[in-house]
Each structure stands twice: as C-alpha cells, then as structure tokens.
Amino acid sequence: MENVVQVNGLRKVFHENIAMDDVHFNVKKGEIFGLLGPSGSGKTTTIKILTGELKPSSGDIEVLGMKSDMFQTASFQSQIGILSDNSALYERLTVYDNLKLFCKLYSAPLQQIAVTLREVNMEKEGGKVVSKLSKGMKQRVLLAKALIHQPKLVFLDEPTSALDPGNAAYIHRGLQKLNEAGTTILLTTHNMEEATELCDRVAFLDQGKIQEMDNPDALRYKYSTHNFHIETVEGKKLVMINDVKSADKIGQMIADGQVKTMHTDHPTLGQIFLKLTGKELV
Ligand SMILES: Nc1ncnc2c1ncn2[C@@H]1O[C@H](COP(=O)(O)OP(=O)(O)OP(=O)(O)O)[C@@H](O)[C@H]1O
C-alpha cells in the first residue's frame, strides 16, 4: 500500500536537547496511525516537522510525495489538515464566519461549513461568537477548521484532550467515518482507549525514540502472558497458565458447570508501554 508519510532517520535537536532521535516510520494511505507517548516524548515535534512548522535537524521525510522543502507551499498545505496547539480562531467572529474565512483561504465550497459542523457535533452553534464558547467547543471548531477543505491527510495533536466523554465518542465516530471515506489520519494521544479504538497502528514514543510499533490488537497479543483468568460460579478468581494440564483442568471445570466467566490475559496499551519504558502513558 502507498505510503503518504515516510520518515527515515528523523532527528531534531533543540539547542542541546535531543527531541527526536533516529525515528523511522511510515503511514499508509487510508490508515489511522497513532503516536503515543507521555509528555515531552516528541509527539508534537513530530507533527510540527511533518507539517512544515519546524525543520528537522536531519533525516529524510516525505509527506504526500513531497520533500520537506515543499511543506510551506500552498499546494502542500491545501492537501493537509492540522489541529495543533498553535491552531487558532478569530475570537470575535462567529463559528460560521471563522469557517467561512477558512473556506475562502482553501477555496472550499461554503456548503462544507454545515457538513463539517455536523461532523464535530456543533451544527447548532454556528451563530455563536467564538469567545463565548467553552474550551471543548473551541476544540471542536478547531477540528472543523482542520477538516473544512476535505484534506487527504489530517494531523491531529491530542484531538479529544479537552472534550467530555460524550463529545469524545462523537468525534471518534466522526473520525472513523472520515477515514472510511478515504482520509488518512495521523494523531497523537495520551489516551490508550482512544488509540485502541481508533488506530490501525500505533507507535510508542519515549525520549524521542520509537520503542514499539504495530496494530493495537497485535501488540496486546504479543505482550500477553496468554494465561486464563477464570471466575467460578462460587465467585472464586483463578489464574491458570496456558498449558495442556490447565486445559484438561479447565475442560473438566466447564463440564462440571463451575465456570462463570473465562478470558485470556490481554494487557492494555498503557500496561505494555509501562512494561517497555517504566513510564505511565500520561
Ligand atoms: N521550541 C522548542 N524549543 C526547545 N525545546 C523544545 C521545543 N519544542 C519542544 N521541545 C522539547 O522537545 C521535547 C519533545 O517535546 P514535544 O512537545 O514534542 O513533546 P510531546 O510528546 O508533544 O509532549 P506533550 O504531550 O506534553 O505535548 C521536550 O523535551 C521539549 O521540551
């Protein structure tokens, strides 16, 4: 499958501080790819480099078939959407007028405003002045701004960090629909449930290096002990290792009607991250 992002040997040094060190990854066309890592691990720096806001210290980068010296061009910027900590709105204008300006900037049809407001659960708030919106509402308008010109590739830095669970779930569904319609998404998150639910692949970043990268379910399988966790009808909880002796015993327990629930051990992405780096994903 075609790669829309190719990163080879990326390094970024701020003064003496090595923020990214020999980072390699690709994002395939049509994927939702997640960069996971604790604060300071280099997620935002990666997005800023891939969107032309920062220059790499070294390494080969290609996004949508263009090298980093093209990232400032209108042709590149019109094909990507960005939600980052630098994204801003005109506070004194309404939500609708903000989006109208961005439509003009990208030559997008004005009908996209209603479509995009629906995607971010803000269809009733178009007439509100931005300065009067809550933090979560502003976050959703910023997301609308990133999507208004129907970009091929979207970079979302912590897209749901300011949202309540209801709106986060709504945005997740919206992003899944957008992705099903063909948009490639690269997002960063501290939220392992979000990553597990949304991402086709995730990369664990720690101290500017990728520590692990794969499909979330494949990672959970890889780092599973494969032990069986059983709850008996009497409420006893048992952990049994995955071998022939246990299988015989479990078979007998099932035949005797003693098993209430049974599942194999699958660690969360957060537990895997902790195991690999000794750090929580927060
Ligand atoms: N403009 C800058 N000047 C100097 N150092 C910077 C700059 N931007 C980032 N850094 C450093 O680079 C490292 C990675 O920062 P980055 O913002 O990419 O982390 P992050 O994973 O996005 O963190 P968070 O989850 O808190 O946003 C940190 O050590 C940070 O202090």
3-state secondary structure string across the chain: CCEEEEEEEEEEEECCEEEEEEEEEEEECCCEEEEECCCCCCHHHHHHHHCCCCCCCEEEEEECCEEHHHCCCHHHHCCEEEECCCCCCCCCCEHHHHHHHHHHHHCCCCHHHHHHHHHCCCCCCCCCEHHHCCHHHHHHHHHHHHHCCCCCEEEEECCCCCCCHHHHHHHHHHHHHHHHCCCEEEEEECCHHHHHHHCCEEEEEECCEEEEEECHHHHHHHCCCCCEEEEECCCCEEEECCCHHHHHHHHHHHHCCCEEEEEECCCCHHHHHHHHHCCCCC
From the CA of 40, how far away is ligand 1's center (Å)? 5
The answer to whether the beta carbons of residues 157 and 84 sit under 8 Å apart is yes
The answer to whether the beta carbons of residues 127 and 94 sit under 8 Å apart is yes
What is the pLDDT of the chain when averaged over all its residues? 91
Beta-carbon contacts of residue 173 (< 8 Å; ≥ 6 apart): none
Can you tell me which residue has the tokens 């501080």? 17
- Average pLDDT of span 12-39: 94
Answer yes or no: is the C-beta of 126 below 6 A from any ligand 1 atom: no
Atom index in ligand 1 nearest the CA of residue 46 equals: 18
Question: Is it the case that residue 1 has pLDDT exceeding 80?
Answer: no
Atom index in ligand 1 nearest the CA of residue 42 equals: 18
Answer yes or no: is the C-beta of 41 below 6 A from any ligand 1 atom: yes
Query: What's the fold here for domain 3-220?
Result: Rossmann fold (3.40.50)
From the CA of 43, how far away is ligand 1's center (Å)? 8
Residue 136's pLDDT is 86
Question: Is it the case that residue 282 has pLDDT exceeding 80?
Answer: no
19, 202, 225, 245, 277 from 205: Cα distances, Å: 11, 10, 23, 40, 10
Answer yes or no: is the C-beta of 90 below 6 A from any ligand 1 atom: no
pLDDT digits (tens, 9 = 90+) for 105-125: 888 999 999 999 998 889 999
Residue 244's pLDDT is 84
From the CA of 99, how far away is ligand 1's center (Å)? 29
Indicate the pTM of the whole model: 0.88
Residue 28's pLDDT is 96
Residue 203's nearest CA partner among 217, 215, 191, 194 is: 215
- Average pLDDT of span 192-212: 93
- Main-chain phi, psi angles of 279, to 5 degrees: -125, 150
Angle between helices 135-147 and 95-106 (to 10 degrees): 20
Cβ neighbourhood burial of 241 (10 Å; 0-12, 13-18, 19+): exposed
Here the ipTM equals: 0.96
Beta-carbon contacts of residue 244 (< 8 Å; ≥ 6 apart): none
- pLDDT band for position 246 (cuts 50, 70, 90): confident
